[in-house]
Amino acid sequence: MLIFVMLVFTTFYTFFVNKQVAAQQEQEALMAEYIANQASFEVRMALTQGDGYTRNFTLPQQVMGTDYTVDVSNGLLILDWGDRIVVKNVVVDAVNGNIVQGENRIRNRDGELYVD
Amino acid sequence: MSTKGQVFSTDFILSAFVFVIILNVAYLMWTHAHEQQDQLTAEKVMQQESYYIASLLVRTPGYPPDWTAGNVDILGLADPDHVLQDAKMDELDLMTDDDIRSALGLSSTMNIVINVTNETSTMHVDGRDLVWGTAPVDADTVSTAKRSVLVNATALYQRGTVEVVLWQ
């Protein structure tokens, strides 16, 4: 009887843990998508608004407890957290400065984008 | 009188069966709750995306500013802010759904409808309806963002609303 009960518990525990991990990863991916959308929108808006545009924006500190980085290169914005990435098309080859967690200010000067 | 305890009897089989059923129900409820949470978060992300697209369309001229259907990088219809330009909508007429998705940075799984309406229906300007994209069919998730604009057409400004519908 003990073996039966342990078998049932072990089986369900495995199911629960696997499901919990999958759910956590899904939520992380959606949160990362949310942050990448915001960052890419700010870059696109700065590019299309042209020279003289300035705007402050704030990105979340973490992707559900995990630090992340944002890199813009070759027309793509890449949000990297843990061993996973989200990629967005932002057209610009690069921005001067880094988009970081927390406070950012983006500027367009003569078509060049600056972030500080 | 027997001194042995219950090891394997009808009572045990019944109680084990009920126990497994309860665990199964708990698992299914828990899974359903997670699916609901994922769905809510996905809707939130899509709502954010539709809001951003609507902003780009009605607040910017796009990129390059004098873009055509052949060279557009970022879609924008307004110049100045919140005034839609007829020439840009002419170019939008020439773009396929894939072109529009690409110029808005949308993934290939996302569908979009851009609809310029007056108070009651799609605006009809210069012999054409101001609507682009594919209307939702069997959509799992739909998100809509609306922005008030002026439409610069036939040398007359008309009030309208840009409605961006994202669906997948």
Q: How sure is the predictor about B4, in pLDDT bands with cuts at 50, 70 and 90?
A: low
pLDDT at A7 (0 to 100): 85
> Helix, strand or coil for residue A68?
strand
Return the exposure string of B135-155: e unless at least 16 CB atoms fall within 10 Å of the residue's CB, then b: ebeeeeebbbbbbebbbbbee
Tell me the mean pLDDT in the region B64-91: 94
pLDDT at B84 (0 to 100): 94
Q: Are B45 and A37 inside 8 Å of each other by CB?
A: yes
B19 contacts in A (CB within 8 Å)? 8
Using only C-alpha atoms, chain B has a radius of gyration, in whole angstroms, of 27
Tell me the mean pLDDT in the region B73-102: 94
> Burial of A19 by CB count in 10 Å (0-12 exposed, 13-18 middle, 19+ buried)?
middle
Q: How sure is the predictor about B1, in pLDDT bands with cuts at 50, 70 and 90?
A: low
Q: Which two tokens stand for residue B44?
A: 């939130």
Indicate the residue of A27, A88, A91 with minimum beta-carbon distance to B73: A91
Q: What is the pTM of this model?
A: 0.86
Give the 3-state DSSP-derived string for A21-33, with helices as H, strands as E and coil as C: HHHHHHHHHHHHH
pLDDT at B76 (0 to 100): 96
How many CA within 13 A on the CB side of residue B74? 33
* Contact status of B107 with chain A (Cβ, < 8 Å): no
pLDDT at B8 (0 to 100): 65
- Judged by CB atoms within 8 Å, which residues 18-47 of B form the interface with A? 19-20, 23, 27, 30-31, 34, 37-38, 41-42, 44-45
A3 pLDDT more than 60: yes
Quickly tell me which residue has 């080859």 as its tokens: A93
Query: pLDDT digit string (tens) for A44-101?
Result: 999 999 999 999 999 999 999 999 999 999 999 999 998 899 999 999 988 999 999 9
pLDDT at B5 (0 to 100): 62
Q: How sure is the predictor about B2, in pLDDT bands with cuts at 50, 70 and 90?
A: low
ipTM of the complex: 0.86
Query: What φ, ψ does residue B126 adopt, rounded to 5°?
Result: 50, 45
Q: What is the mean pLDDT of chain B?
A: 90
Q: Which bin fits B133, alpha (ψ -120 to 50), beta or left (φ > 0)?
A: left
Q: Are A44 and B30 inside 8 Å of each other by CB?
A: no
Query: pLDDT digit string (tens) for B127-164?
Result: 889 999 999 998 989 999 999 999 987 667 889 999 99
Indicate the residue of B19, B44, B60 with minimum beta-carbon distance to A48: B60
pLDDT at B110 (0 to 100): 92
> Helix, strand or coil for residue B87?
helix
